[in-house]
């Protein structure tokens, strides 16, 4: 579909492009149009409207080849009785025609937000540092609580077990002494 005219410029679909890259974009859009045309069902104008809106939102077409296709879809939708004309958005052109370029073109729906301004980066860094300090303090506090806790945990389980067994041993010794004393008393009473 791409040809060269007498001046060496690339021609696609009857449009002569200034450079090779633009001509390649137009040829790529022609392939997208062919792909869409193979799958579109013109008997269902609502589905055509959905595809038309999606193509505008996602800025699928950027060359005159694509804009001509969008215009043909728009004309088809406007001719349909079941379609409200207000539901058919206009085709946005993201360029000026006086030879100057816009500073920034805005699509109808921004999918990817532009990166944060440079003024916000120091603020984000400050917030990040503050949050990290708070997290470190919280972690240190958790270790201190774990070390001071009476309940057995990873840090003091050995001490807790030794203390528990020592307590049991002391209790057993006391009971044993009490039993021996009772035995002595009983044996003294039996001897009388």
What Å distances lie between residue 97 and 14, 22, 101, CA to CA? 20, 17, 9
pLDDT of residue 109: 52
> pLDDT-derived band of residue 85, with 50, 70 and 90 as boundaries?
confident
The tens digit of pLDDT for each residue in 141-186 reads: 998 888 787 777 777 677 777 888 888 999 999 999 999 998 888 8
10 Å CB burial of residue 69 (0-12, 13-18, 19+) is buried
Q: Are the beta carbons of 119 and 85 closer than 8 angstroms? A: no
The tens digit of pLDDT for each residue in 94-150 reads: 776 666 555 555 555 555 555 555 567 788 889 999 999 999 999 999 988 887 877
Domain positions in the chain are: 2-87, 121-191
**Buried b or exposed e, range 156-182, using 16+ CB within 10 angstroms:** beeeeeeeeeeeeeeeeeeeeeeeeee
Nearest by Cα to 74 from 55, 50, 49, 54: 49
The tens digit of pLDDT for each residue in 44-73 reads: 889 889 998 998 998 888 888 888 999 999
């Amino acid at each position: 579909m791409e040809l060269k005219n007498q001046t060496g410029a690339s021609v696609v679909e009857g449009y002569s492009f200034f450079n090779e890259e633009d001509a390649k974009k137009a040829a790529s859009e022609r392939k997208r149009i062919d792909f869409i045309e193979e799958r579109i069902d013109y008997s269902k104008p609502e589905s055509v409207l959905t595809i038309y809106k999606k193509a505008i939102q996602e800025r699928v077409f950027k060359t005159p080849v694509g804009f001509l296709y969008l215009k043909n879809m728009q004309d088809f939708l406007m001719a349909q009785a079941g379609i409200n004309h207000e539901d058919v958005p206009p085709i946005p052109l993201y360029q000026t025609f006086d030879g100057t370029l816009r500073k920034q073109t805005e699509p109808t729906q921004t999918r990817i937000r532009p990166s944060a301004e440079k003024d916000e980066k120091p603020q984000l860094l400050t917030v990040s540092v503050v949050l990290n300090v708070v997290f470190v303090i919280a972690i240190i506090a958790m270790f201190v609580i774990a070390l001071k806790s009476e309940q057995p945990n990873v840090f003091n389980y050995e001490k807790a077990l030794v203390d528990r067994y020592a307590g049991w041993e002391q209790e057993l010794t006391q009971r044993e002494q009490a039993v021996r004393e009772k035995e002595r008393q009983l044996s003294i009473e039996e001897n009388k």
